[in-house]
Every structure is written in structure tokens, then in C-alpha cells.
Amino acid sequence: MRSLSGFAALGLSLGLLVTSLSGQSHAQNTKNFPVLGKIVVHEPTELAKLLDKDANLEVIGSGFEWAEGPVWVKDGEYLLFSDIPRNSVMKWKLGDGVSLFLKPSGFTGEPLNNKNEPGCNGLMIDRNGQLVSCEHGDRRISVLTKGGGKRTLADNYQGKRFNSPNDGCFKSNGDLYFTDPPYGLAMGADDPLRELPYCGVYRLAKDGTVTLLTDKMTRPNGIAFSPDEKTLYVAQSDPDRPVIMAFGVKADGTVDEGKVLFDAKPFGTSGHGLPDGLKVDQLGNLFATGPGGVWVLNSAGKPLGLINTGEATANCGWGEDGSTLFITADMYLCKIKTKTKGAGW
């Protein structure tokens, strides 16, 4: 388990949150969550329209090994998120706290000790209200059916198994766009079980057809559409080239060669982390994880501010009424209130 030094350094009390990863958590004090980090302002006027500089980043769960993939379930009013090393999907509901939702979540084989990241990563809700998972260990995109049990939506491209699907986003027509870096393989890019020689970005069409959109990104990761779906944003978690790419979406659903929207390398001193998960608001601004926490960028890629978590931060997602941003930061699950709402909310 990762160090709890972040809490110690900030002098926070864990007494308000007692989480059991094997079942229902103890009752939570929902009026007074402990807080984490700070807001760093780069463009005061523009950021003030989206986020209060004194907004609190509340810690609503802790003790996870590596939290990821938060997604809000409107039919039930709760959040689901991955704990990848523990091969689990966790559930958070206001007033109830954290409980185990699904295990195994992304790897159904044995043993687990040869995989660092066996569980599922990115989570999405499809148009039927079903949970769609990017599974590292089983190297597939799956759907948890409402009747119970999973179905495989895709596990290969032209007969070769994916590396380890990482994150995805739905287009309004129902097509799923997803990334496929090698993080779920026991030996990463050098794993002998690897079948594809590149890390791709793909489209899974409603009819099950898989299309390779680009093989030019070294470590594609988080992915999201602009509100008008004319741009596809893809984060690259490569320490040598930590960027967010913007790809123009063509009429047939494929993408152009893309351009760099944001280069995180000059901001490496802001804290731990690389470009990872990202989400977009209704106005086209990006909330993208990177060095130090979650960067708030306008649609041109200009940094407006940083939600500095003090931890390596994996992902974020909109929830509640659409204006709450949930953030997974290493061992913590957090939320912060914004002045905007998620795209499509």
C-alpha cells in the first residue's frame, strides 16, 4: 500500500472516514469531510467562472491502493470507481460511504501476484445504464449486464489481443472510443504475452467493429470528447512526452493526425503525476490530471488553474447534479464543487 504521508503532512484526521474494503463502511460524517490540497490560480478571471479559489477538496474515502475510473450512476445516485491492484470496483454513496461493488473486476485468472494492475481501470455507463469496463487483466472491454454477468464487447484488433484497455468515452451515437497502453501486462511493454506492437487508440462501433484510430501515441491514457464531439482529447502518460493531444473527428468517426493541446512537461515541478484521466465541461474546458493534481484548461489548452491534491492523481469524473467533480488521487477518493457542469449533463 502506498504511504499515507499526504495526510500526515497536511495534518488531516482520518477519524472521520473509516473504510472497509471488504464490505459496507462505517457511517460517515457527511457534513464535515476532511480536506486535501489547495487551489492554484493561473488565470484568476477565467478560473473564477469555473471554480472558487477557496473551494474545498473533500476526502470522502481513503485506504485504496490505486483508485481510478470514477463514474456516476444516475439511476441510484452513487459513484463507482476502480481499485486496480485489488481487482475491485468500489461504490460510494452519500451517507453510506464506501463498499465493495464488484470483485474480481478485471482479471479472472490465478495467480494475481504476476500482475501489478490486474483490475479494471476506466469505467463508463452506456445508454442502457449498464457498467462498461476497461479491463487490464483480461485485456478486454466488457459490459456488466442488468441481468447479471459480463459480456465481452471487444478483446482484440484483427485477431491480436489488446495490451490492456485503459480508459474510454462514449460518442452520442453509442460508439465507444478507448485507449490501449500496456500497463496491465505483468512486464509492461516488454511482456512476452503482448501481441500488438503499438499502443493504440480505437473506436468500438455499435455493430462490434473495432477501428484503429492512431498508433502514434506511446502511452495513450485518458480520453474525452469536446461538447460538440468535433474534437477527441487523448492524454499521454509518457514521462518523456507528457502531453494531451487534440484530434479532429471526421464525418466517418475516424480522426485526423492531431496536435498537441497541452504539454505538461514544463509544469513537472507542480507535483507528482503525469497526464492521465480527463473530463470536459459543458463549456468545453478540460479538467485533466497531470503533475500535482487536476489541471483546469480552456479549449485552447491554456492552464487556468490547478486543483493541487499533493498526490499522484489518476482520474476524475462528474457526478451528483453534474457540478461536482470526483477525483481519484492515489489512495484517496475526493470531491470538489465547481461552478460548471460536465459535458452532456
Measured over the CA atoms of residue 206, residue 207, residue 209 and residue 213, the dihedral's sign is negative
* pLDDT at residue 265, rounded to an integer: 97
For 263, the grid coordinates are 504539454
Helices and strands counted in the chain (H then E): 2, 27
List per-residue pLDDT tens for the chain, 345 residues long: 333 334 333 333 333 343 444 444 444 656 679 999 999 999 999 999 999 999 999 999 999 999 999 999 999 999 999 999 999 999 999 999 999 999 999 999 876 555 678 999 999 999 999 999 999 999 999 999 988 899 999 999 999 999 999 999 999 999 999 999 999 999 999 999 999 999 999 999 999 999 999 999 999 999 999 999 999 999 999 999 999 999 999 999 999 999 999 999 999 988 899 999 999 999 999 999 999 999 999 999 999 999 999 999 999 999 999 999 999 999 999 999 999 999 999
For 291, the grid coordinates are 503533475
**CA 134/CA 117 separation, integer angstroms:** 12
Half-sphere exposure of 66 (CA within 13 A, CB side): 14
* pLDDT at residue 255, rounded to an integer: 98
* pLDDT at residue 116, rounded to an integer: 75
Q: Which residues contact 197 (CB under 8 A, 6 or more apart)?
A: none
User: Any idea which residue has 500488438 for its cell?
Assistant: 196
* pLDDT at residue 147, rounded to an integer: 85
**CA 61/CA 45 separation, integer angstroms:** 32
- Position 156: which residue type? N
Let me know the angle formed at the C-alpha of 67 by 88 and 122, rounded to the nearest 5 degrees: 75
**CA 126/CA 3 separation, integer angstroms:** 35
**CA 312/CA 268 separation, integer angstroms:** 12
Query: What phi and psi, each to the nearest 5 degrees, are found at residue 286?
Result: -100, 140
Q: Hey, what CATH topology would domain 36-337 get?
A: Neuraminidase (2.120.10)
